[in-house]
């Protein structure tokens, strides 16, 4: 891809570096960034600073927990209010219009120009390809549910499943045993994503099936960053980066239960 | 599925996240509860418009709008004007120094209190984008949609927010080291 001349500017490097750390770059741009990091000590230093900041934020900031009392008040909203009275309520879009001084208008115009420049960066972002990934992973999960069994190798023993992947794919994702937490291992299967075979672990929770897709991603260390939760076609999808693999979990399980599963899984994977 | 069930599925699981966001936007836990409660009433009113795929980002957008309405009503002086916002956008990302930075060490050792203060001291525009990304874990696309700003702006604000935060933590850390 041809870069506009302005792309060499430092500011744009920083934006790309941030996007890289946020895992928002497409594969080619991420590789490119890795190469630049290896050759540019200043960029490397900035990378380390940002990584430290992230670590500090993730380890020090806790999310709020609603008190039971508050939770009750919130669930009461749906019970008390007859919805008809509210059906015409429109949620306002976040548009803020306020008077501006002339010089500020100029500043705003400069901002707009800056934004237009930055617009060229969309092409480097991975959002689309990632959306396809999730769609593909969910579709595979659905297909697996329609098949006679959602796995190719049936075993609740991780010492059977792990070598099976090893022999089949020459890949060895972490397989953890969560039977004691109520998520017994059911087996494993192979899925083809973007033309490459990837291992999928299958767990069960009551009648629900949980697919854990492990996409190899060499050179990436396991992180403690929070998992990314989305939904697709009613399935909960949770993603995170583990040691050498990017993991995606799909299930029709309630989101909080699936979160619990991911939490236990990651904890168990770290202990190993 | 009736509205109540929809509300239970789309809103209730995200109350903690809504509360976190509201805490950062209003600056305290009591106001945050007021804002979230009001936001949930609005959310219930608009429950028919929610799609399963984006319930969380949808609720957070409502919380954000409610918080701004609430702040404008209860703390008129704290409202960020569009002019200020334009001014913030002008903050330049400064050149990174080439020498290995002592800041990195300071950042790592920063405690929760300093981090909170540093985030609270960020201009509203930067604080909210940082919270949406780092605490709520939204992707660029979701933030772009939620704030109705282009992805390029998400990227530049986030980079600036982090840059400012690193500077502030660095300064606080140095102050502390000097005092000790």
Q: Which candidate from B12, B89, B150 shows the least CB-CB separation from A74?
A: B12
Give B67: exposed, middle or buried? Use CB within 10 Å, 0-12, 13-18, 19+. Answer: buried
- Chain B closest-CA separation from residue A173 CA (Å): 25
Q: What is the largest CA-CA distance in chain A?
A: 71
CA B42 to chain centre: 20
Task: Inform me whether the pLDDT recorded for A89 exceeds 60.
Answer: no
In the listed set A84, A107, A125, which residue is the last one of a domain according to the structure?
A125
Q: Is the pLDDT at A153 greater than 70, yes or no?
A: yes
Comparing B163 with A114, the larger pLDDT belongs to B163
Q: Do A107 and B11 touch (CB under 8 A)?
A: no
Residue A154 has pLDDT above 60, yes or no: yes
Instruction: Say yes or no: B18 and B71 in one domain.
Output: yes
Model confidence pLDDT, tens digit, residues A42-80? 899 889 889 988 888 887 777 778 888 888 888 888 876
CB contact (8 A) between residue B169 and residue A56:
yes
Which residue range forms the structural domain that includes residue B63?
A: 3-78
How large is the average pLDDT for residues A146-170? Answer: 80
| ipTM given for this complex | 0.72
CATH at B57:
1.10.1740
C-alpha distances (whole Å) from A269 to each of A153, A248, B110, B123, B130 are: 21, 14, 28, 39, 29
Q: What are the residue ranges of helices labelled H in B11-131?
A: 15-26, 29-45, 55-74, 82-89, 102-109, 112-120, 124-130
Q: Averaged over B96-103, what is the pLDDT?
A: 45
A113 with A224, same domain: the answer is: no
> Are A110 and A163 in a shared domain?
no
pLDDT in tens, A173-191: 888 888 888 899 888 888 8
Residue of chain B whose alpha carbon sits nearest to that of A107: B86
Chain A interface mutation, best of B152, B153, B171, highest count of A Cβ atoms under 10 Å: B152
Q: Is residue A18 pLDDT above 90, yes or no?
A: yes
A121 and A132 assigned to the same domain: no
* Structural domain for A217, as ranges: 127-271
Token output for A200? 């999928």
In chain A, residues with a C-beta closer than 8 Å to the C-beta of B48 are 87
pLDDT tens digits, B138-157:
889 888 888 888 888 899 89
- β-strand A196-205 against A208-216: which pairing, if any? antiparallel
A240: Cβ–Cβ under 8 A, 6 or more apart, which residues?
A: A223, A225, A226, A227, A228, A246, A247, A262, A266
Looking at residue B115, what is its pLDDT? 81
* High-pLDDT (> 90) share of chain B, %: 11
The string of DSSP codes covering A191-258 is EEETTEEEEEEEEEETTEEEEEEEEE-TTPPP--PPPEEEEETTEEEEEEE-SSEEEEEEESS-HHHH
Q: Residue A253: name the closest of A196, A192, A211, A195 by CA.
A: A211
A159 domain-assigned: yes
Provide the β-strand partners of residue A231.
A236
Chain B neighbors of A234, CB-CB under 8 A: 52
Q: Which residues pair with A216 in a beta bridge?
A: A245
* H or E stretch covering A193: strand A185-193
Same domain, A115 and A155: no
Q: How many domains does chain B have?
A: 2
Q: Are residues B73 and B88 in the same domain?
A: no
DSSP 3-state of A217 = coil
* B89 shares a domain with B173: yes
The CATH number covering residue A163 comes to: 3.30.200.100
Q: Does B111 touch chain A (CB under 8 A)?
A: yes
Both structure tokens of A36: 């630049």
How many domains is chain A built from?
2
Same domain, B71 and B103: no
Residue A151 sits in the same domain as residue A100: no
| Inter-chain residue contact A94 with B47, CB threshold 8 Å | no
Q: How confident is the model at residue A14 (pLDDT cuts 50, 70, 90)?
A: confident
Q: Which of B49, B154, B11, B149 is nearest to A121 (CA)?
A: B154
Q: Determine the pLDDT at residue B162.
A: 92
Chain A nearest-CA residue for B101 = A45
**Bigger pLDDT: A242 vs B89:** A242
**Is there a single domain that holds both residue A166 and residue A199?**
yes
- Is A170 a member of any domain? yes
């Amino acid at each position: 891809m041809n870069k506009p001349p302005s792309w060499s500017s430092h500011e744009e490097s920083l934006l790309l570096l941030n996007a890289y750390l946020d895992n928002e770059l497409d594969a080619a741009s991420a590789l490119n960034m890795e190469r630049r990091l290896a050759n540019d000590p200043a960029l490397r230093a900035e990378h380390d600073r940002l990584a430290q900041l992230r670590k500090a934020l993730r380890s020090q900031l806790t999310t709020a927990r609603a008190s039971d009392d508050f939770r009750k008040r919130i669930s009461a909203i749906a019970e008390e209010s007859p919805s008809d009275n509210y059906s015409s309520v429109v949620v306002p879009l976040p548009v803020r219009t306020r008077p501006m001084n002339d010089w500020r208008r100029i500043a705003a115009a400069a901002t707009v120009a800056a934004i237009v420049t930055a617009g060229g960066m969309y092409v480097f972002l991975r959002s689309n390809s990632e959306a396809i990934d999730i769609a593909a992973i969910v579709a595979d999960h659905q297909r697996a549910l329609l098949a006679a069994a959602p796995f190719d190798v049936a075993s609740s023993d991780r010492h059977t499943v792990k070598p099976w992947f090893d022999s089949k794919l020459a890949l060895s994702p972490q397989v953890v045993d969560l039977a004691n937490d109520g998520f017994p291992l059911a087996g494993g299967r192979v899925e083809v994503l973007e033309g490459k075979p990837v291992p999928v672990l299958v767990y069960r929770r009551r009648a629900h099936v949980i697919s854990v897709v492990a996409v190899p991603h060499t050179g990436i260390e396991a992180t403690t960053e929070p998992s990314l939760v989305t939904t697709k076609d009613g399935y909960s999808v949770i993603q995170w980066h583990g040691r050498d693999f990017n993991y995606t979990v799909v299930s029709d399980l309630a989101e909080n239960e699936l979160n619990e599963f991911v939490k236990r899984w990651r904890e168990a994977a770290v202990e190993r | 599925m009736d509205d109540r069930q929809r509300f239970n599925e789309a809103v209730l699981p995200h109350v903690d996240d809504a509360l976190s966001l509201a805490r950062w936007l209003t600056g305290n836990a009591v106001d945050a509860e007021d804002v979230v409660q009001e936001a949930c009433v609005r959310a219930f009113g608009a429950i028919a418009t929610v799609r399963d795929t984006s319930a969380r980002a949808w609720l957070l957008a409502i919380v954000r709008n409610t918080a701004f309405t609430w702040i404008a009503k209860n703390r008129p002086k704290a409202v960020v004007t569009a002019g200020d916002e334009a001014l913030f956008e002008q903050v330049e990302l400064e050149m990174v120094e080439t020498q290995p930075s002592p800041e990195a060490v300071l950042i790592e050792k920063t405690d929760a209190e300093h981090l909170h203060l540093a985030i609270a001291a960020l201009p509203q525009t930067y604080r909210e984008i940082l919270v949406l990304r780092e605490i709520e874990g939204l992707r660029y696309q979701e933030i772009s949609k939620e704030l109705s700003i282009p992805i390029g702006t998400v990227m530049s604000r986030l980079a600036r927010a982090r840059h400012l935060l690193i500077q502030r933590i660095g300064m606080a850390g140095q102050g502390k080291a000097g005092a000790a």
